[in-house]
Structures are given as structure tokens and as C-alpha cells.
Structure 1
Amino acid sequence: MSAWSPPRLILASRSASRRAMLDAARVPYAAIPADVDERAVEASLEDAAPGEIAEALAVAKAAALAPAHPDALVLGSDSLVAVEGRRFDKPGSREQAAEHLRFFSGKVMELHSGAAIVKGVGVKGKGCEWSHAALARLHVRDLSDAFVESYLAAEWPEIGNCAGAFRIEAMGVQLFDHIEGDQFTVLGMPLLPVLGALRELGVIEA
């Protein structure tokens, strides 16, 4: 009997937290960042719900790499933050991060994390084997101006690539009173559903 040989998995992301999740779960993969115009994808889905947009961004990232890797399954993931119905992109500057944080103060942040697996064959945007979006609600405490300044002094520029201007695994945990939702969704990828899909697709053993 031949040894079990799983399909190759590529993570279409440069995110350290997503890599850390797969590493901890002992999932074999290669990480290759995807070049996707996220703002264009969002603009094309302007009237869609935030969860749908996060899922579409995940599909777009996976699909961008898939044609160049016909022997692989490509996993894309993305997160989107909404507060009081307003969507927030990654902050483009420290000043914008401060504006975001002051707006978030005392409010509930909805964090939508999407994931998708695309076959590495076919036309770009086709061949999506699986996709999913999960929601976490993060209750932001009242943030003083002094805290916002000390927080940014410690966390900028690292949080410039983070939706919501925080890293939950770092000082960002101090932004919140409590959180509804699992830690993986907050970290940027709904890991348990992803693992279920990887089992179904033969990437990891069932």
C-alpha cells in the first residue's frame, strides 16, 4: 500500500498570525502573499454585508495565486471590521489609526473573518472548493487620549496591516472589555471550519 500523500496547500497570506495558527495545528503548507486590490474588490461589493465582503476577499486572494500553482489547493483569508455600520480598512497612517481608535471607543466592533480554498487549476476566480465567514463581537472599552497615544507608541507601525488597528496577541488585548466569538476569528481566520474543510479535501487526516 502506498503512503498517504496529501495535496499541497498554499496559504495566500503574509499574516504572521495566520501562519502561527496553521503551524500550531501542525498543518503542512507554504506561504505566498497574494497580490490583490482589496479596495477594488470591496468597491465591487459596496452593498454587500461585511461578512460577504470578507469571504469574497478571501476567495479573491486564493484565486489570484491558484492559476500559477496547478498542483495545489490555495487557502485565502481576510478580515473586515465594522463599527456602527461603517466599514474600516487597515489604517494608512498613525494619525488615521488614532482616528479609528477614538471612533471605536466605547462601541462594539464587529470583526468578520473569511476563508476560502481554491483549486490551483482553471480560470482565475473559478474552482472555489469551499468558503466561510465567521463573526466576533469585540466590546471596546472607553479609551482615554493618553492610552491611545501610549498604545500607538508601542504598536505602530505593526498594526498598520491589521483591520481594527490592533493585534489581539499583543497590546491590542487592552482595547476590550470582553469579546464574543472564538479566538481564531479574532486572530483573522476561522480556523476550526478551515480545518474541517482541509480534512474533507484530504490535506490533513480525518
Structure 2
Amino acid sequence: MSERLILASRSAARRAMLAGAGVPFEAEDAGVDEPAIKAAFASEDPGALAVELAKAKALAVSARRPGAWVLGSDQTLAFDGGLISKAPSLEAARNRLRVMRGREHQLHSGVALARDGQVVWSGVDTARMAMRDFSDAFLDVYLAAEGEPVLASVGAYRLEGMGSQLFDRVEGDYFTVLGMPLWPVLAELRRVGVLEI
């Protein structure tokens, strides 16, 4: 690797994706005020909001780390005509999953690459998620098994874990569901020289 890469994220899934793909990187929490960014965002497009959040993260870390490539990523969940935020408690997650069961929602994973305080590339990918009509008994077992880590996910599920059992169908890229459109990211990292061609 000829260029330094910093992932502007606390997400374990995003870190695991890059590490699994053999991408050398450091990770740093961006420390952005996501609720304030969401409140100030003028568009109702959930995909555009995911990109805006990703840009804010990349730029925040880029301002502190001159000369490094900084990758920001974020995800929005669109359901029933609105946006869903992370559940603050397991009880809130239980209530949300009850409302979402048997219905579809969309996950939008936005990504941005910045250097020296400038965004040089950004993009978004969307996955369509169809939850099955699971029982309350299964929901109890699921939440007991997964516990508080589900609160770190906007949908209160991890597809790479027991959360896969919540779904009938997923249309879209697996990595997008996990929180970052990995294939376009890898292509861009090769283009800018972070990864070998």
C-alpha cells in the first residue's frame, strides 16, 4: 500500500469488511453530530442523506489527518414513507421489529472518500429487504440471543448473525446490507492508489 487509509467509523461490520478484503487501514471515530446533520438536511431522499452523513464523517477525520485518504460510510433505513433511526433500547427494537415484520424496507449505504478536507468521490447503493412474518416467540428468542449489539444497527439486526432469520428475501448486495458498498469502494481505492491495481 503506497497511500494511508483511515476508516472514519466505529462500525465493527465496516472494519471487518475492509480487513476481510485485505485492505490495510486505521480506524478513527469521526465524532460527527448525526442528528444535527439529519435535521439540517433539506432533501427527503434517504440515499442522498446516507451520502451526506458519509461525507460529513470523511471530512471530519480528513480535517484532522492531512495527507491521508479517509473513507466515510453511513446507512439510512427507509420504511413506510419515513426514515428509521437506531433503536435506543431493546424494547424499542422489539416494537420496531414487530411493526416491520411481514413488510419491506430499503437500506441505503452511502460512502465518501476524502483527502485534505475535500471529498473526491462518493456513492450510494440500495438493498431491498423483505422481512418474514415471524412470531413474537421467535422475536423474543432473537433479541435474547443477540442482545444489546443489535442497537448498533439501524434496523436492529445483523444479517451476518441470527438476524438473517428475520428475512424472506433480500434484493441487493450483501456488503451494502452490512453497511458499505464494498465493490465500488475497492475500485476507487485502486483508482487513487491506496490499493495495488
TM-score by length of structure 2 reads 0.97
> Residue 121 of structure 2 corresponds to which residue in structure 1?
130
Letter aligned with residue 132 of structure 1: G
> Residue 97 of structure 2 corresponds to which residue in structure 1?
101
**SS of residue matched to 1:184:** helix
Percent of pairs identical after alignment?
50
Please say if 1:51 is aligned against 2:47: yes
Q: Which moved more, 1:67-76 or 1:144-153?
A: 144-153
Please say if 1:172 is aligned against 2:166: no
Give unpaired runs (5+ residues) of structure 2.
none
Q: Which moved more, 1:82-91 or 1:184-193?
A: 82-91
Q: Could you report, residue by residue, the CA deviation over 1:182-206 in whole angstroms, capped at 9, with x for unpaired residues?
A: 1110110000010111111110012
> Residue 68 of structure 2 corresponds to which residue in structure 1?
72
Aligned partners of 1:115, 1:53: CA distance in 2, in Å? Answer: 11
What is the count of residue pairs matched by the alignment? 197
> Residue 196 of structure 2 corresponds to which residue in structure 1?
205
Aligned partners of 2:78, 2:136: CA distance in 1, in Å? Answer: 22
**SS of residue matched to 2:88:** coil
Give unpaired runs (5+ residues) of structure 1.
none
Aligned partners of 1:163, 1:194: CA distance in 2, in Å? Answer: 21
Please say if 1:25 is aligned against 2:21: yes
**SS of residue matched to 2:124:** strand
Shift of 1:47: 3.3
Aligned partners of 1:50, 1:18: CA distance in 2, in Å? Answer: 20
Shift of 1:143: 2.1
Letter aligned with residue 204 of structure 1: L
Shift of 1:85: 1.4
TM-score by length of structure 1 reads 0.93
